[in-house]
Amino acid sequence: MFRLLSFVLLFVMSVSVAQAKEKLQMGLSVDVVPVGSDFAGQDIVVFGAIESADQAELYRGEYDVLIEVIGDLQEAIVRKKDRISGIWVNAAAREYRDVPSFYSLHSRNPIEDVVDPSVLSSLGIGIKYLKAKPVDRGNIEEFLTQGEFSSALRRKRIENLLFSERADSVDQISPSLFRAAVSLPPNVPIGFHTVKAHLFKDGKKLDEVTQTFEVRKVGFEEWIYNLAHEQSLLYGILCVLLAIFTGWFANVVFRKN
């Protein structure tokens, strides 16, 4: 009897604890995005579930999931041209550290409708609130909207499809299940990318989960790249031999005509 009671108690407790602590679960359709000779971008699917949520609130759609895909943090140099004796020359430059090589944000609704800008800003979610460290400012993080150089960096990345935001790419399959199609452009940087899903309710963040996937050259492309970097002398010689063979072959073929 006492045992049964303790079970019931435990159950009630766990439910009430779960009520207060909604959790996110997430999976990716791939671990590796292979970059082969025919690579022209790829779509990956992020799917997941909101667990231990209040059913009524789930059905009313009060939860929101934001999904970020973040590439490696890299250095970047921004240069500005200036006219020097009639010619446009790269003049001033600023160097940044910890710039994401890739960033895309996915949501079901425009993010600023879901979460207060001040919260987004403090969490660094969204292109507007991305930060980097200017090397000449002692590596203190600044937003990529401060100053013409960091704005230019942000703008260039957007133009090159490396920074993007989509407010219609997260689908709610059922009240607790979500699915997002993340399209990686053909120029998606090689390396590890982190997928970060945030769970929000009433503008407050409740949970976060992360997963990584790798964009990797495979097969012939991987072999060529590794050869060029690890055995560069051999690679150079092979390039020359290929050229000599092609030149010779052309000469032989067209001489007979």
Partner 1 sequence: MSIYLPIAELSVNIWILFGMGAAVGFLSGMFGVGGGFLMTPLLIFYNIPPAVAVATEANQIVASSFSGALAHLRKGTVDIKLGLLLLVGGIAGSTLGVYIFSELREIGQLDLIISLLYVVFLGAIGTLMTIESLRAIRKSKQNGGSVARRPGHSGFIHKLPLKVKFRKSKLVLSVIPVIALGMLVGILAAIMGVGGGFIMVPAMIYLLRVPTNVVIGTSLFQIIFVTAFTTIIQSTTNQTVDVVLAFILMVGGVIGAQFGAAAGHKLKGEQLRALLGLLVLGVCIRLGYDLVVTPDDLFSVIAAGEEGGH
Q: Least distance to partner 1 from the beta carbon of 71, Å? A: 10
Q: Work out whether 37 is an interface residue with partner 1 (CB under 8 A).
A: yes
CA 159 – CA 121 distance, rounded (Å): 22
Tokens of 27: 């999976």
Site for partner 1 in 148-177 (CB under 8 A): 148-149, 152-153, 155-157
Pairing of strands 103-106, 163-166: parallel
Q: Least distance to partner 1 from the beta carbon of 145, Å? A: 15
- Can you say whether the dihedral through the CA atoms of 243, 244, 249, 250 is positive or negative? positive
Binding to partner 1 by CB under 8 A, coded x per residue (else -) over 61-100, reads: -------------xxxxxxxxxx--xxxxx--x-----x-
Of the pair 148, 202, the CB lying nearest partner 1 is at 148
Q: Work out whether 246 is an interface residue with partner 1 (CB under 8 A).
A: yes
CA 84 – CA 74 distance, rounded (Å): 31
Tokens of 230: 């690890």
> Length of the chain in residues, anyone?
257
Q: Which residues sit opposite 96 in a β-bridge?
A: 76, 134
In the block, residue with structure tokens 């997260």: 170
Q: Which residues bind partner 1 (CB under 8 A)?
A: 35-41, 74-83, 86-90, 93, 99, 101, 148-149, 152-153, 155-157, 186-187, 189-190, 217, 220-222, 224-225, 228-229, 232-233, 235-240, 242-244, 246-248, 250-251, 254-255, 257
